[in-house]
Structure 1
Amino acid sequence: MDLVRAVADLDQSSELHVARLLILIDAFAEEDHGGAIEGLTKLAKLDFLLRYPILLERALEAKRQSIQGVQLEDHERYSVESEMVRYRFGPWDHRYREFLNILAAKGLVSISIEGRKVVITATEQGRYCAKQLASDQLFEQYSRRAKLLKRHFNMKATNLMRFIYETFPEIISLRSNVPITP
């Protein structure tokens, strides 16, 4: 099997996406288990920066923050593990509901509706699994970068969306459902 096919197969596998999202959701959980990601739009924007670490560097630079914690690997400068598309409110993956349903069905996240907003919280079991994943060399970079996102991009979804549009204007010019490439 060639490398391109292997990467394509990885992108189709929900396990990688579910693990990455669990790590991201856990990073936003507070020690008292009260933290949450409020809204699918916010989840998508944070996941965008997690999937595209070269753009995470640009976002940190735009905020005049250190990029040291990103620790980009050479291959990440030239490829993206899993592309997102431009959708109504910016970067998006049409499989988010599927991924969140998997996490909820496994008891790893709690999903509630507050008004028109979806609120996603890691359960105790989810936090434990996220810590286990983060200790694995394959997922350590996601954990480190998710903590950077919590530290520097924990803002309301609308503000985060506005920041993404201002920092990455090339995304706005894409047609809907066109893959985003850095």
Structure 2
Amino acid sequence: MELYQILNELDQAEDVHLGRILILLNEFSQGKREKKIEGLTKLAKLDFLLRYPLYLERALIARRKSTKNVQILPHEKDSVESKMVRYKYGPWDFRYRKFINILIGLGLAYYEQEGKRINIGITPKGKEYAEKLLQTHSFDDVRRRAKLVKTNFDLSATSLMKFIYQTFPEIGSLDLGKEIQHEN
């Protein structure tokens, strides 16, 4: 199998993306009142931080927060999954709508229309599935980092977007589809 085929198959592993997004939605639903993520753009920016721990670490440093719970593993520094690709709107995977629609279709998430914005939440069935995923320990890093993302980056969508582009100016300066180089 050629390298491009291997890379393509890794990126097509939608179950991993769905699981990560479900855990993110679950983490944001924790607390005294159920909380939804306000808009696909905010979801994409939060998931960017969750999906790419090297960027999460840089974001925490920019906010003068502790990075000890990021716990970047050696294989995450140079793996295919650690490489961020610039999509149309920066760290926005064009498949987010598809992922959310799959989660909604499976009864694991829901959305509410609020003007032009779509708020995304997790259903009781989704919470149950997220907890099952978390019991496997395969998602321990995702859980720990999702907590960091919620604790430190639960900002308004506009504030989060501005923070991301100020902290990572390289995101907006590359051609579409190009890998964004990160600092190790």
TM-score higher than 0.5: yes
Quickly say closer, same or farther: Cα 1:84–1:112, change in 2 above 3 A: farther
Q: Does the 8 Å contact 2:109/2:121 carry over to 1?
A: yes
Paired letter, 1:163: F
Q: Taking structure 1 as reference, are residues 55 and 118 closer, same or farther at Cα in structure 2, changes over 3 Å only?
A: same
Report the Cα distance in structure 1 between the residues aligned to 2:170 and 2:80, rounded to whole angstroms. 17
Secondary structure at the residue paired with 1:119? Answer: strand
After TM superposition, give the deviation of residue 5 of structure 1 in Å: 5.4
Is it true that 1:81 corresponds to 2:81 in the alignment? Answer: yes
Q: CA deviation at 1:138?
A: 1.6
Instruction: In structure 2, give the amino acid aligned to 1:105.
Output: G
Structure 1, unpaired ranges of 5+: none
Match of 1:92 in 2: 92
Runs of 4+ in 1 over 4 A off after TM superposition: 1-7
Structure 2: gaps (5+ residues):
none
Alignment of 1:137 onto 2:149: no
Secondary structure at the aligned position of 1:110 is classed as strand
> Residue 23 of structure 1 corresponds to which residue in structure 2?
23
1:165 paired residue number: 165
Q: C-alpha separation between the residues in 1 aligned to 2:5 and 2:11?
A: 10
Give the match for residue 122 of structure 2. Answer: 122
Asked whether the equivalents of residues 133 and 140 of structure 1 are also in contact (C-alpha less than 8 Å), the reply is: no
CA gap 1:9/1:45 in 2 versus in 1, 3 angstroms: same
Alignment root-mean-square deviation, CA = 2.1
Q: Encode CA deviations 1:68-101: one digit per residue, 9 max, x unaligned.
A: 1111100111224165543454211011111111
TM-score by length of 1: 0.91
Percent of pairs with identical residues: 50
Determine helix, strand or coil for the equivalent of 2:121.
strand
State the AA in 1 paired with 2:144: R
Shift of 1:143: 1.0
The aligned residue for residue 107 of structure 1 is 107
CA distance in 1, matches of 2:73, 2:169: 25
Letter in 2 for 1:178: K
Offset at residue 180 of structure 1 (A): 3.1
Once the two structures are overlaid, the 10-residue window that deviates more, 78-87 or 65-74, is 78-87
Moved more, 30-39 or 90-99: 30-39
